[in-house]
């Protein structure tokens, strides 16, 4: 079984490959079929954006391949769910991870630690060879720190402390993150689906 990952983000491909380890699947990046097409993420939900990306790659993928796309982001309660679907471009269309983190830290300046609750959310969209669409969701609760700490991970990892821990995902490292993350929870639901012979 071949699963093509609908992303141009090498971090995500590696993370998904690790999370799917042990299943009888061959995980390939979009580069295997010429690269991920440019997709305007115009959806207002994670589900809608994941489907847009999956559909874009489906047009290039072999008929017998599965296509997997994810859309994920950080929802901060104090900011009424922002940055949400705009997490990757929170500080602007060409913003890097550091700029996005800096904008979020500034938006929460002076906010009491107990009001800095947030969650990472991930929605996976799987397109099967027979044309079915399946969604799998996962989340990870935590709080936003006042400053970045740690060099592991990417995105908002250095300013997110998962529930039950004192260190950020940037400090905890991949082994812990792979158990706790929103993507790990979504992939577990996907693993259950695939292991059932779907």
CATH number of 99's domain:
3.90.950.10
- Binning pLDDT at 50, 70 and 90, where does residue 27 land? very high
| Residue whose C-alpha is closest to residue 11's, from 155, 164, 176, 185 | 155
Q: Measured on CA atoms in the order 187, 188, 194, 198, is the torsion positive or negative?
A: negative
Closest by CA to 138, choosing from 171, 178, 168, 170, is 178
With both helix axes pointing from N to C terminus, report the angle between 10-19 and 182-195 in degrees, rounded to the nearest 10: 50
Strands 26-29 and 66-76: unpaired
Q: Cα separation of 53 and 51, whole Å?
A: 5
pTM of the model: 0.88
Contacts (Cβ under 8 Å, ≥6 apart) of 89: 95, 100
CA distances from 157 to 34, 166, 179 (A): 30, 13, 14
Total structural domains in the chain? 1
- Catalytic site residue from 71, 77, 96, 102: 71
Q: Which structural domain, as residue segments, surrounds residue 175?
A: 2-195
If you average pLDDT over residues 62-85, what whole number do you get?
A: 96
Nearest-10 Cα torsion for 98, 103, 105, 109? 160
Name the average pLDDT for the chain: 93
Instruction: Name the residue with higher pLDDT: 45 or 198.
Output: 45
Residue 47: C-alpha distances to residues 43, 131, 134, 183 (Å): 8, 17, 10, 14
Band (10; pLDDT cuts 50, 70, 90): confident
**Whether 119 contacts 81, CB under 8 Å:** no
What does the block give as tokens for 194? 């695939």
71 is catalytic: yes
Main-chain dihedrals φ then ψ at residue 139, nearest 5 degrees: -145, 160
Q: Please check the confidence at residue 145 and state whether its pLDDT lies above 90.
A: yes
């Amino acid at each position: 079984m071949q699963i093509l990952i609908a992303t141009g983000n090498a971090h995500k491909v590696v993370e998904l490959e690790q999370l799917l380890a042990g299943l009888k699947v061959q995980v390939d990046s979009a580069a295997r079929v010429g690269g991920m097409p440019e997709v305007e993420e115009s959806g207002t939900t994670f589900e809608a954006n994941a489907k847009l990306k999956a559909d874009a790659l489906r047009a290039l993928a072999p008929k017998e391949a599965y296509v997997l796309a994810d859309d994920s982001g950080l929802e901060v309660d104090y900011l009424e769910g922002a940055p949400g679907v705009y997490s990757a471009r929170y500080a602007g269309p060409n913003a890097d991870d550091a700029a996005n983190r800096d904008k979020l830290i500034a938006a929460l300046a002076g906010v009491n630690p107990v009001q800095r609750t947030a969650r990472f959310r991930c929605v996976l969209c799987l397109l099967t060879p027979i044309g079915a669409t399946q969604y799998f969701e996962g989340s990870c609760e935590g709080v936003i720190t006042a400053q970045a700490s740690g060099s592991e991970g990417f995105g908002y990892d250095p300013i997110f402390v998962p529930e039950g821990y004192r260190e950020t995902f940037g400090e905890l490292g991949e082994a812990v993150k792979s158990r706790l993350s929103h993507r790990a929870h979504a992939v577990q639901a996907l693993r259950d689906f695939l292991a059932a012979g779907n």
